Amino acid sequence: MDSTERKLSAGLLRIGAVLLRPDEPFTWASGWRSPIYCDNRRILSDQALRSMVADAFAARVSGLYPDAEVIAGVATGAIAHGVLAADRLGKPFVYVRPKPKDHGTGSQIEGSLQEGAKVVVIEDLISTGMSSLAAVDALRKAGAEVLGMVAIFTYGFDVAAERFASAGVPLATLSNYGSLIDEATAEGLVGPGETELLRGWREDPANWGK
């Protein structure tokens, strides 16, 4: 675990952005039962963690994609984080709606995006990857060259890795599920038995708890 992963995992646990309830699972919109709930919007209310995430995004983007011309955020969770990263990088910012709006110009991409622009996409959370890659598809249809995506957190599902590979989109994340569980275990927030349960969930989330 690198220092950014560790610090971010500790920060998410500290502010209650991540809740671990192996004995009282959450139910996701997909119907999956989950022992974890992650709400990265809470980062915005903590100045220290918000700033750390923005700095980490800027460092990762500049290191991986020095030719990036535009930063794009995925609505709605990554808009604020994308703006902060773009500001640190001195880059233009746009954001991508889940679908074109049904009024006005009918835009799906908000902001000024030139055809052929080299774009890095900022995302807050990667689960199955479908909504994140839908944003990439919208940017490509608008004529942008998507260099890659950088996200705050990923659950590390195989299905997401397969979808990103198939779409030809490199994915980098600031932290991940494994790092989070390691940190929660080190802090004594979960016991050994719960740690194994939490790791097992990630291997087959669709059938976990059935």
Instruction: Render pLDDT for 108-129 as a digit per residue (tens, 0 to 9).
Output: 999 999 999 999 999 999 999 9
What range does the domain containing 198 cover? 3-203
Question: Closest Cα partner for 180 from 155, 201, 158?
Answer: 155
Distances (CA, A) of 30 to 34, 38, 192, 200, 206: 11, 15, 28, 19, 9
Instruction: Look at residue 50 and tell me if it is in a domain.
Output: yes
* pLDDT tens, position by position, 176-189: 999 999 999 999 99
Instruction: Report residue 206's pLDDT band, with 50, 70 and 90 as the boundaries.
Output: confident
pLDDT at 209 over 80: no
Instruction: Look at residue 209 and tell me if it is in a domain.
Output: no
- Say what the pLDDT of residue 45 is: 98
**Range name among 4-8, 30-34, 130-134 with the lowest pLDDT average:** 30-34
Instruction: Look at residue 107 and tell me if it is in a domain.
Output: yes
Instruction: Look at residue 208 and tell me if it is in a domain.
Output: no
Domain count, the chain: 1
Cα end-to-end span (Å), the chain: 32
Instruction: Report residue 30's pLDDT band, with 50, 70 and 90 as the boundaries.
Output: confident
Instruction: Look at residue 66 and tell me if it is in a domain.
Output: yes
Q: At what angle do helices 79-89 and 47-64 cross, to 10 degrees?
A: 60
Residue 137's CATH number: 3.40.50.2020
- Say what the pLDDT of residue 184 is: 94
Instruction: Look at residue 13 and tell me if it is in a domain.
Output: yes
- Say what the pLDDT of residue 1 is: 62
- Say what the pLDDT of residue 40 is: 94
Write down the pTM of the prediction: 0.95
Instruction: Report residue 155's pLDDT band, with 50, 70 and 90 as the boundaries.
Output: very high
pLDDT at 55 over 80: yes
Distances (CA, A) of 94 to 9, 45, 86, 98: 28, 22, 9, 13
Contact call for residues 155 and 126 (beta carbons, < 8 A): yes
Instruction: Look at residue 210 and tell me if it is in a domain.
Output: no
Instruction: Look at residue 89 and tell me if it is in a domain.
Output: yes
Q: How far, in Å, CA of 176 to CA of 196, rounded?
A: 16
